[in-house]
Amino acid sequence: MLNDIEIAQQAEMKNIKEVAAKLDIKEDDIEMYGKYKAKLSDELIASVQKNENGKLILVTAINPTPAGEGKTTITVGLGEAMGRLNKKAVIALREPSLGPCFGIKGGAAGGGYAQVVPMEELNLHFTGDFHAITSANNLLAAMMDNHIHQGNALGIDVNRIVFKRCMDMNDRALRHTVIGLGKRVDGVPREDGFVITVASEIMAILCLAADFNDLKEKLGRIIVAYNYQNEPVTAKDLKAVGAMAALLKDAIKPNMIQTLEHTPALVHGGPFANIAHGCNSVIATKTALKLADYVITEAGFGADLGAEKFFDIKCRMNGLKPDAVVLVATVKALKYNGGVPKTELGQENLEALKKGIVNLEKHIENLQKYQVPVVVTLNRFITDTDAELAFVEKFCKDRNCDFALANVWEKGGEGGIELANAVLNTLENKKSDFKVLYKDELSIKEKISCIATEIYGAANVTYSPEADRAIAKIEEMGFGNFPVCMAKTQYSLSDDTFGQASLSAYKLGTAIKISEELLNDSVFDLPSYIAKEFARRIGAKEEEAFFVGDGKGKPTGIFNATGGAEDGTSTTGASITFDDVMELFYSLRSPYRKKAVWVLNDSTVKALRKLKDNTGNYIWSPSVQAGVPDTILNRPYKTSSYVPEIKAGNKCMAFGDFSYYWVADRQGRSFKRLNELFAMTGQVGFLASQRLDGKLILPEAIKTLTIKKA
């Protein structure tokens, strides 16, 4: 079977002029970027404004899981299916960021036979939009620092600068930096940092701007810092707007490419709905509505993120009214939410499906709050059984949702016909009475509370003192009537594994044999000795089980391949390098690094004590203060002889928050004297036992380093 790249490379693309002609766009109305990419001209956008709007269809999904959902793939396949049904359709997608490794994660091309092409160019530089956004952002940062260097006429408080530089790359080393070091001409030293381009304010402005003039207005209102009077300093105050707009004059124009079946695709702006608003640009979406009868667009991550922001931010600010929502799920992802390990998702498991489908149920509930009709589609896998598919279909129809299977990855548009017909049926028979979740006039805290409780499922919201002050300042400046855009983990509705975790009771035991003479004649405190020895032995068994237990007759250990910690990184060889340690460190998401601990074997300690970073300093930080532990990369460590050694095939290190490894003590240690068992040998036996279990309830909270076999 061909992979995505091979399928894309074998595709026969049409000249983009032919693709544009499907939307009645003439060659003079597009600006060519080679044969297969183009930008829509300002003249075209202006000329179609009097056209009637087509139907707006949003594609969203349940929360992301390692099993995959396929939101973009469904979007592309649905557009292709509409074309096969002779419908005038266009898809409106987000551009992918370079940041998460060249489209491997976060790519926006779709997959299989439901892709947009040229895929490689889309996932790399494309038409340069993101580079232009990066340049405009950093121009503003440079002008601000130059203003401070040249005398700071605006009185900018260097301790209250809120605007950061950006780059289209997830470079962790640049998140927090110090700039201006060196000679006087090198600027004023201060703390700074980089954000990823797609989470920058410039990206949001480009995506939400109605036109070029609106773009300039929004650029001018960017707050870069506060002065010594606690007043905001804007890009307009710095006279940066004209230069920034010049850099963005081409980037604001929507890009057109094609699907494998030559359906037009407007790909422009906006990924990452977990940290930004995560939608296709307003200009692209509104232009698409004027060009086609059906516009299929998408929003990032799960519906609790992308769809909420699409409705409450994008639609609210630009008068868009969606006609239907397609909610994407997979049987595998639902079973994963039901507690099934990734390795077992191919097996039928209706019980797990029943547990995990509550994730889908919550998203249906959320979407219906906006009074937009919902179509649920299952991105089908060959391992899905008829019983599982029938269960999900009934579940959806019982909740007033149309339902359809999709097999677009394998069959392209043909595999999306059932879904396309379901969408058309919904559009024809169910009216959308779209409304936003909250009103503009609510306070910021009321809006936050509304989203958190209604969409995220939170009980309440608590605020740090810093957040309280920031909100008060925002409202004081007159921005309280704006919609709220919150950064949030994309897993919040799917990583509540606490309620799903079940702990068993395994018996661990050990015995000690003592001669009757020693028992009777001992001059020291033998019972105390026996108790301590039992504690040591049982403790060792616990430690062994919690690290390497196989779950059969004992708890499942952290280093077990199934049910244990997730793979963080791997290496080949008999030694560990500095890069290996760094890779393991950063494989763990930042929320779990705050309380993370290293766990390793004593022999691994020796190897790590010799490692140096790229500046020649040892990564092992020995403590010189009594009671303060040594650290590795500023995080504490623990050693155990039960952690596997550096050996081919072993997981030899773990790094993570071990509070997510739950231990259940079903019974305290019990001691029993066995008078008869060893009587023939003149000995007395003592038996100690304990019933307990241990389970890693959130595998992603701990990461391991594996030594690969050569």
The catalytic residue among 60, 72, 73, 263 is 73
Residue 646: pLDDT band with limits 50, 70, 90: confident
Residue 650: pLDDT band with limits 50, 70, 90: confident
Task: Please provide the DSSP assignment of 559-609 as one string.
Answer: T-TTTSPEEEEEEESSS--HHHHHHHHHHS-HHHHTT-EEEE-HHHHHHHH
| Higher pLDDT, residue 574 or 241 | 241
pLDDT at residue 109 tops 90: no
| Residue 223, pLDDT score | 96
pLDDT at residue 421 tops 70: yes
Q: What is the mean pLDDT of residues 635-663?
A: 87
Pairing between strand 635-639 and 597-600? parallel
pLDDT at residue 227 tops 90: yes
Residue 314 is among the residues annotated as catalytic for this protein: no
| Residue 499, pLDDT score | 42
| Residue 43, pLDDT score | 96
| Residue 627, pLDDT score | 63
| Residue 645, pLDDT score | 87
Task: Please provide the DSSP assignment of 443-462 as one string.
Answer: -HHHHHHHHIIIII--S---
pLDDT at residue 684 tops 50: yes
The catalytic residue among 126, 381, 547, 598 is 381
Q: What is the mean pLDDT of residues 291-315?
A: 94
Q: Tell me if 589 sits within 8 A of 616, measured CB to CB.
A: no
Q: What is the mean pLDDT of residues 380-404?
A: 94
Residue 71 is among the residues annotated as catalytic for this protein: yes
pLDDT at residue 619 tops 80: no
Residue 409 is among the residues annotated as catalytic for this protein: yes
pLDDT at residue 654 tops 80: yes
pLDDT at residue 411 tops 90: yes
Which of 240-249, 366-375, 605-614 bottoms out in mean pLDDT, i.e. has the lowest?
605-614
Alpha-carbon Rg for the chain in angstroms: 30
The catalytic residue among 26, 35, 105, 536 is 105
Supply φ then ψ for residue 167, to 5 degrees: -155, 150
Which of 163-167, 197-201, 669-673 bottoms out in mean pLDDT, i.e. has the lowest?
669-673
pLDDT at residue 671 tops 60: no
Percent of the chain with pLDDT over 70: 86
- For the chain, the straight-line distance linking the first and the last C-alpha, in angstroms and rounded, comes to 27
Tell me: the pLDDT tens digits for 473-528?
A: 999 999 999 999 988 877 656 444 444 444 455 556 666 666 656 556 555 566 67
| Residue 687, pLDDT score | 66
The catalytic residue among 130, 272, 409, 585 is 409
Ordered alpha helix ranges (H), 430-525? 444-451, 465-476, 516-521
Tell me: the pLDDT tens digits for 171-192?
A: 888 988 999 998 888 889 999 9
| Residue 604, pLDDT score | 86
Q: What is the mean pLDDT of residues 550-564?
A: 79
| Residue 217, pLDDT score | 97
User: How far is Cα 144 from Cα 586, in angstroms, rounded to an integer?
Assistant: 32
| Residue 670, pLDDT score | 58
The catalytic residue among 22, 37, 55, 71 is 71
Tell me: the pLDDT tens digits for 579-591?
A: 888 889 888 887 7
List strand residue ranges (DSSP E) for 330-468, in order.
374-379, 402-406
Q: Tell me if 203 sits within 8 A of 269, measured CB to CB.
A: yes
Residue 585 is among the residues annotated as catalytic for this protein: no
- Average pLDDT of the chain is 86
Q: Tell me if 471 sits within 8 A of 444, measured CB to CB.
A: yes
The one-character DSSP state at 305 is: I
The catalytic residue among 94, 335, 355, 541 is 94
Highest mean pLDDT out of 103-117, 270-284, 619-633? 270-284
User: What SS3 class is residue 429?
Assistant: helix
Whole-model pTM above 0.95? no
User: How far is Cα 3 from Cα 634, in angstroms, rounded to an integer?
Assistant: 42
Residue 624: pLDDT band with limits 50, 70, 90: low
| Residue 576, pLDDT score | 83
Residue 94 is among the residues annotated as catalytic for this protein: yes
Tokens of 93: 């997608």
Q: What is the mean pLDDT of residues 252-266?
A: 97
| Higher pLDDT, residue 697 or 526 | 697
| Residue 506, pLDDT score | 56
Q: Tell me if 19 sits within 8 A of 261, measured CB to CB.
A: no
Q: What is the mean pLDDT of residues 571-576?
A: 77
Q: In what order do the strands lie in the sheet with 232-234?
A: 156-161, 223-227, 232-234
The catalytic residue among 163, 194, 272, 301 is 301
Tokens of 470: 């920031």
Q: What is the mean pLDDT of residues 399-418?
A: 95
Tell me: the pLDDT tens digits for 132-170?
A: 999 999 999 999 999 999 999 999 999 999 999 999 988
The catalytic residue among 273, 292, 545, 565 is 273
Tokens of 208: 């939400």
Residue 387 is among the residues annotated as catalytic for this protein: no
| Spatial CA neighbour of 205 closest among 247, 261, 171, 173 | 247
Q: What's at 369, amino acid-wise?
A: K
| Residue 533, pLDDT score | 72
